[in-house]
């Protein structure tokens, strides 16, 4: 009985020690950054500023926090916050169909910045040209100083499915490769029992792989 009570007491002590190293995250939303940092620091927590956005809150006020208020975390953990740049209305310029360099200039002139830039192959849109923007030019209220852009990589690269060449003669394989825009690469001979002389016994890329025009195809033929 005494041993069981001692074990239970030890478990309770360990649990209290663990909980003693935790603290409930306070609500710092709407607080000034300096006050929020002091409030968090008083509890052994560190504040990390992740970004700044336009909002109706006064500049340098906390707009959002993570972890949320009330969550239990270990002391010394960071609380990530977004700070306000204050309210601001900016006409977002239309930069779609302009090259990326020009888009950067126009955004800077409007008091904005280029945010995340993604790229994609686009039909009918030249390389390095803006295909989409977010927010769009119709959005007069910019809640962030950053405008994300989708930039064209130009026309999609043409590709084919590698044809089956096994069992064909070299002349037959050449005709099939030419029809697919492919060319012979290295050709080696190998002795294979039961195979017709001069027939293709191995190929690389193999049948079904994605290949692009001009790709070289390596073959092994029976001797």
Residues 211, 165: contact at Cβ < 8 Å? Answer: no
pLDDT in tens, 124-140: 889 999 999 988 876 55
Two tokens, residue 41 = 């620091």
Write down the pLDDT at residue 35: 96
- Residue 18: pLDDT above 50? no
CATH number of 160-222: 3.30.10.20
pLDDT in tens, 171-188: 888 888 888 788 888 888
Strands, sheet with 78-84, edge to edge from the N-terminal-most edge strand: 46-53, 78-84, 62-66
Number of H helices, E strands in the chain: 4, 13
Task: State pTM to two decimals.
Answer: 0.43
Strand segments (E) across the chain: 22-24, 46-53, 62-66, 72-74, 78-84, 113-120, 130-134, 146-152, 160-161, 183-190, 200-204, 210-211, 216-222
CATH number of 100-152: 3.30.10.20
Domain boundaries, the chain: 28-87, 100-152, 160-222
The verdict on domain 28-87 having CATH code 3.30.10.20 is yes
Two tokens, residue 120 = 């994609």
- Residue 191: pLDDT above 60? yes
Question: Are 28-87 and 100-152 in the same CATH fold?
Answer: yes
**Residue with the two structure tokens 């029809």:** 179
Under the banding of pLDDT at 50, 70 and 90, the label for residue 103 is: very high
Residues 203, 166: contact at Cβ < 8 Å? Answer: yes
Separation CA 213–CA 223 (nearest Å): 29
pLDDT in tens, 55-91: 889 999 999 999 999 999 999 899 999 999 887 777 8
């Amino acid at each position: 009985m005494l041993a069981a009570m001692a074990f239970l007491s030890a478990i309770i002590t360990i649990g209290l020690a663990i909980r003693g190293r935790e603290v409930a995250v306070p609500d710092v939303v709407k607080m000034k950054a300096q006050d929020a940092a002091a409030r968090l620091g008083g509890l052994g927590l560190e504040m990390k500023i992740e970004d700044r956005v336009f909002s109706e809150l006064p500049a340098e006020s906390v707009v959002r926090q993570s972890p949320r208020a009330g969550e239990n975390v270990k002391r010394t953990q960071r609380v990530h916050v977004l700070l306000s740049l204050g309210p601001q209305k900016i006409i977002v310029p239309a930069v779609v169909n302009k090259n990326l360099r020009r888009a950067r200039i126009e955004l800077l002139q409007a008091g904005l910045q280029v945010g995340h830039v993604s790229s994609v192959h686009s039909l009918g849109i030249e390389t390095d040209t803006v295909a989409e923007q977010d927010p769009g030019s119709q959005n007069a209220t910019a809640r962030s100083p950053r405008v994300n852009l989708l930039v064209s990589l130009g026309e999609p690269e043409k590709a084919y499915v590698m044809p089956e060449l096994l069992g064909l003669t070299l002349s037959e394989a050449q005709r099939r490769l030419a029809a697919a825009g492919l060319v012979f690469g290295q050709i080696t001979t190998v002795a294979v029992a039961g195979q017709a002389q001069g027939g293709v016994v191995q190929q690389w890329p193999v049948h079904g792989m994605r290949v692009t025009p001009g790709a070289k195809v390596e073959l092994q033929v029976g001797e």
